[in-house]
Chains A and B, each alone.
Chain A
């Protein structure tokens, strides 16, 4: 409810001007730093973010420096304000981003050469764009499970980066909430329903949105060989737009 009475939310919205990497840009006061950056073709790396589902703020790749704030702020959840001065690239940010990617590689068992998403993987792409040519930390070699009980899809825990895009898309868009996380910390793992095999899930609608939303080869379609799994999560932002349009009718 807007303080100015019953005018629509749009009329109450203000446009603010701010600076990103020295460029003057403008945005709506309900937009995030990420929204405004991308609208001005300033790329900020992300992995857990996906247009069409809520922001998570877990991968920490999108952290940016904001003048006047001692701590780095995640671009995906920070809302822009007037006169904000933002820096999205710096030696420190690059070094931190590389470290995050290296950590992700050590956490699972990511064998690109035999993976179904080889060549079409957001994690791989991020590593290359950040110049990660080797991992400086020791791999943890966890024992992870593969669930191939679903008729059409497979979940390979070795490749999961716990971005929760599948959890959010299944909950917020499909409304089934089949996926969620069990355990905490390094023992976190993705489960279906209450930890029962995916093939026996009573909530799963087999819509496949989770597969499209997954940035790596953790979720994929049966029948795809190495390098054959391509995903197209863009449909999600289209759905989100349609939903917004319907709600404001």
Chain B
């Protein structure tokens, strides 16, 4: 047991379960000094709405307050309903305040002793279906811990799973637990996590690596960003447990540079845990040593593909490599490498803590656990939601999301990003899981969910995603590099009323070819939005081609001819 204490009276190092317990106790005692706690969400969305100012104002108001309103004002995490940002939570009363401005600070502090002083518009009904119908596992702490203090994470049980794993379990036992849980990769492919860990562990090599793929690049996706910003310690704990299980000695968190707050939080978290001995040599006082560092992306969607990511870490251009061999066998610098998504790692501590049986009771037969989704677009309650796999699209979009606002009609929901597809109203009762969505020509992907109403043109939607793929294509393979350009140009001509049925036919066969012959998932998935919108919204394509008009009024006002007058030169 470590006898040393640091200046805040916390143990200087965690070299045993006892140390961890003392750290937790010390933190809980500190928190109990305050009768109340106010958490201000300091995620990117709330910050972009001014929550940093709100935090400062609340701190000031709290300092000036008396005993009845004594409270600790802290940075907090995402509450989920990002549309109502900035969000402030009051505990232990469990009240949620929305659209908070700095001017509201005094009133909020006063409300601790007298609820009635707060204006109705500021109060968010946190018992509404949006909250009640979710099942929070990855986001179980509901943003009610300071993302920058490891002590707070430990006080709610953080790092207990890690301690137990490294001091009481063998790597094989850890892998066995992960296999039993049924957890599947949350990056989109849904590969059984336990199986991947087992393959890495068994692959021969002097070194093994663990990588966290935090390059979340799908337009509309922000699940990983949120989890990294709010619970960096949890993600890292999952990674360290994984490293122990597979026998890795070094790891990388590859974060896209467009997530500066997440980068900052992860860097700070690594520093904190290294300082107290939960990272680096002799983790938790055991023989297990593992360290990790952050690597930044540089603006390429393709670097979310695992082999391109690996190439990027190696210092090369972010170009994918042929698989096999898979990274589990030969990855970073030719060594066996475990690469998992942020959310996959975030599930690991809770599985280790509550057990595989508890975890596998959630979800469906083939898809265990929960999934976070970034619900956005034409839906009332946009934000981050977490539900058990198998929940239907109807429940997420209408019960939780509140349905389509302003009297418009639901048209489609786009899932899975640029490799995904659009699902129409007739299929809203589809359960959200890997297999069901794939059967419809879509893809669950990493969790992006964009709702569209009658003001969206499906041809225009397909064009948007194809433009994205075209500009993000790495250029290594011909079908993706050139095929996406042609597909985009064809869609563009369709939106301008300059296409033909022959071109539609050519586009369909080009889609098959690009999907079947591209080297990596970017090219293989690029035709999906086109194919799925053609399947469910073919009439819109025909209207553009044969009648030269856009039924949704996007490519041109409704009824107007899409064709512009021809120029001679």
Q: How far is the CA of A74 from the CA of B520 in the complex (A)?
A: 12
Q: Are A96 and B481 in contact, CB atoms less than 8 angstroms apart?
A: no
Residue numbers in A under 8 Å from B317 (CB-CB): 181
* A61 closest partner in B (C-beta): B478
A129 to B330, CA, bound (A): 37
Stretch from B1-9, B510-518, B548-556 contacting the other chain: B510-518
Using a CB-CB cutoff of 8 Å, which residues 452-475 of chain B contact chain A? 470-475
Quick check: is B357 within 8 A (CB to CB) of the other chain? Answer: no
Whether B482 pairs with A103 at a CB distance below 8 angstroms is: yes
Q: Is the CB of A104 within 8 A of B482?
A: yes
- Knowing A58-B478, A60-B479, A104-B478 touch, does A185 contact B471 (C-beta < 8 A)? yes
Q: Which of B183-191, B367-375, B439-447, B483-491 contacts A (4 or more CB under 8 A)?
A: B483-491
The contact string, 1 if C-beta is below 8 Å from chain B, for chain A 56-77, is 1111100100000001101001
Q: What 1/0 mask marks residues of chain A from 184 to 210 whose CB sits below 8 Å from any chain B CB? A: 111110000000000000000000000
Most buried by B among A3, A60, A78, A95: A60
Closest residue of chain A to B300, judged by CB? A184
- Give the dominant DSSP class at A's interface: loop
B476 within 8 A of A: yes
Interface residues of A in 44-103 (CB under 8 A from B): 55-60, 63, 71-72, 74, 77-79, 92, 95-96, 99-100, 103
Q: Would A60 and B473 count as touching, CB distance under 8 A?
A: no
Taking a contact as CB atoms under 8 Å apart, the answer to whether A107 and B517 are in contact is no
**Which residues of B are found within 8 Å of A96, using beta-carbon distances?**
513, 516-517
- The interface residues of chain B lying within 8 Å CB-to-CB of A72 are 516-517
Q: Which of A13-21, A133-141, A219-227, A238-246 contacts B (4 or more CB under 8 A)?
A: A133-141
Bound together, the chains give a CA A71 to CA B322 distance in angstroms of: 12
CB-defined contacts of B484 to chain A, threshold 8 Å: 185-186
User: Chain B interface secondary structure, helix, strand, loop or mixed?
Assistant: helix
Least CB distance, A37 to chain B, in whole angstroms: 17
Interface size class of A (residues with CB under 8 A): 35 or more
Chain B residue nearest to A74 in the complex (CB)? B322
Bound form: Cα–Cα A186–B470 in Å: 8
- Contact status A138-B489, CB under 8 Å: yes
**A100 and B517 contacting across the interface, CB-CB below 8 Å:** yes
Shortest distance from the beta carbon of B290 to any chain A beta carbon, whole Å? 25
Q: Which residues of B contact A71 (CB under 8 A)?
A: 516
| B476: chain A residues within 8 A (beta carbon) | 56, 58
> Within residues 12 to 52 of chain A, which ones have a CB less than 8 A from any CB in chain B?
none
A140–B517 CB distance below 8 A: no
What chain B residues lie within 8 Å of A63 (beta carbons)?
517
Q: Are B519 and A186 in contact (CB under 8 A)?
A: no
Q: How far is the CB of B217 from chain A (nearest CB, A)?
A: 14
Chain B's nearest CB lies how many Å from the CB of A136?
A: 7
Are A181 and B478 interface neighbours, CB within 8 A? no
Contact indicator B472/A185 (Cβ below 8 Å): yes
With A and B bound together, what is the CA distance between A100 and B516 in angstroms? 12
A57-B519, A60-B479 known; A186-B506 Cβ under 8 A: no
- Tell me if B477 is interfacial: C-beta within 8 Å of chain A: yes
Which residue of the partner chain A has the closest CB to B502?
Answer: A136
Q: Is A162 an interface residue (CB 8 A)?
A: yes
**In the bound complex, do residue A60 and residue B483 qualify as a contact, i.e. CB atoms below 8 Å apart?**
no
A-B contact count (CB 8 A): 91
In the assembled complex, which residues on chain A have CB atoms less than 8 Å from the CB atom of B482?
A: 103-104, 106-107, 140, 186
Q: How far is the CA of A208 from the CA of B355 in the complex (A)?
A: 64
**List of A residues within 8 angstroms of B470 by Cβ:** 185-186
Residue among B317, B510, B513 with the highest chain A CB neighbour number at 10 A: B513
A186 to B478, CA, bound (A): 9
* Residue A5 is within 8 A (CB to CB) of chain B in the complex: no
Name the contact of A184 in the complex, choosing from B322, B475, B513 (C-beta under 8 A): B475
Q: In the assembled complex, how far is the CB of residue A45 from the closest CB belonging to chain B, in whole angstroms?
A: 13
Residue ID in chain B nearest A136 by CB atoms = B506
* Shortest beta-carbon distance from A31 to chain B in Å: 15
Give the residues in chain B near A186, CB-CB below 8 Å: 470, 473, 475, 481-482, 484-485
Q: How far is the CA of A161 from the CA of B302 in the complex (A)?
A: 21
Contact in complex: A106, B516 (CB < 8 Å): no
Taking a contact as CB atoms closer than 8 A, the residue among B322, B472, B486, B489 that contacts A57 in the complex is: B322
Given contacts A104-B482, A107-B482, A136-B506, contact A185 B517 (CB under 8 A): no
Which residues of chain B are within 8 angstroms of A79 by Cβ–Cβ distance?
324
| Residue contact A185 to B322, C-beta cutoff 8 Å | no
CB distance from B435 to the nearest CB of A (A): 15
- Chain A residues with CB under 8 Å of B485's CB are 140, 186
Q: Which of B204, B470, B481 has the most CB of A within 10 A?
A: B481
CB of A131 closer than 8 Å to a CB of B: no
In the complex, A63 Cα to B517 Cα: how many Å? 8
A234 → chain B closest CB, angstroms? 25
Cα distance A47–B509 in the bound complex, in angstroms: 23
User: Given that A103-B486, A185-B470 are known contacts, is A60 also in contact with B475, CB under 8 Å in the complex?
Assistant: no
**In the complex the two chains form, is B519's CB within 8 Å of A58's CB?**
yes
Most buried by A among B478, B479, B509: B478
Residues A137 and B486 in contact in the complex (CB < 8 Å), given A57-B519, A77-B322, A185-B472: yes
Contact B489 A185, beta carbon cutoff 8 Å:
no
Closest CB-CB distance, A177 to chain B, in whole Å? 12
The minimal Cβ–Cβ distance linking A165 to chain B, given in whole angstroms, is 13
- Please give, as numbers and ranges, the residues of chain A lying within 8 Å of B513 by CB-CB distance: 95-96, 99
Q: Is the CB of A184 within 8 A of B506?
A: no
Chain B proximity mask over A214-236: 1 for CB below 8 Å, otherwise 0: 00000000000000000000000
Q: What is the chain B residue whose CB lies nearest that of A3?
A: B204
Nearest residue in A to B493 (C-beta to C-beta)?
A138
Q: B residues within 8 A CB of A138?
A: 486, 489
Q: Once bound together, how far apart are the Cα atoms of A138 and B322, in whole Å? A: 30
What's the least CB distance linking B91 to chain A, in Å?
48
Beta-carbon contact of B478 and A103 below 8 Å: yes
Q: How far is the CB of A102 from chain B (nearest CB, A)?
A: 9
Complex CA distance for A55 and B477, rounded to whole angstroms:
13
Q: Mark B322-334, 1 if CB is under 8 A from A, else 0.
A: 1010000000000
Closest chain A residue to B317, Cβ basis: A181
Known A-B contacts: A3-B204, A74-B322, A188-B481. Give 8 more (CB < 8 A).
Answer: A55-B322, A57-B321, A58-B478, A92-B516, A95-B513, A103-B479, A107-B482, A161-B478
The 20 sampled A-B contact pairs (Cβ below 8 Å) are: A56-B476, A57-B322, A57-B519, A58-B476, A59-B477, A60-B479, A63-B517, A74-B322, A95-B513, A100-B478, A106-B486, A107-B482, A137-B506, A138-B489, A140-B482, A184-B473, A185-B471, A186-B475, A186-B482, A187-B475
Q: Which 8 A-B pairs have the closest CB atoms?
A: A188-B475, A185-B473, A103-B482, A77-B322, A57-B322, A60-B517, A185-B475, A58-B476
* B interface residues with partner A (beta carbon < 8 Å): 204, 300, 302, 317, 321-322, 324, 470-479, 481-486, 489, 506, 509-510, 513, 516-519
